[in-house]
Structure 1
């Protein structure tokens, strides 16, 4: 289930809410009970199975490393 980050405009706390994607735009109250909150944009990190960063394509990589001329 996706997690969404929010910030409360009243108290400044940030918090997470886990909810289905179908409810992604529904309002969320902060843990202190305030209702004036805003959903934050979050970044996604892509890592390999061992936690290492995913390998990057060589310079000029394109879709197949630049060898096909696409």
Structure 2
């Protein structure tokens, strides 16, 4: 299962192993038990000069760029 980052307002950042379907649900902080929200950060573009155009969006909201091999 994937590991996701969460941020507790009291204790700070922590990681949780969760199913993909639960990734955006709040998680309980392992230190204090408070509800924590998922931290999301965008991945940098690693294309050539000018980048690649976004072609479509996959089932989990991931953006597929020209030449990606993940859906073939």
TM-score normalised over the length of structure 1: 0.52
Q: In the alignment, is the contact (CA less than 8 A) between 1:15 and 1:30 conserved in 2?
A: yes
Point out where structure 2 has 5 or more consecutive residues left out of the alignment: 54-65, 68-72
* Greater relative contact order, per chain length (Cα 8 Å cut-off, separation 6+): 1
Counterpart for residue 15 of structure 2: 16
Runs of 4+ in structure 1 over 4 Å off: 43-46, 58-64
Higher strand share: 2
Point out where structure 1 has 5 or more consecutive residues left out of the alignment: 47-53, 65-70
TM-score normalised over the length of structure 2: 0.51
Cα distance, 1:23 vs. partner?
1.2
Q: Max radius of gyration: which structure? A: 1
Give aligned pairs, total.
55
Match of 1:57 among 34, 48, 56: 48
Mark the CA change 1:60 to 1:6 in structure 2 (over 3 Å): closer, same or farther: closer
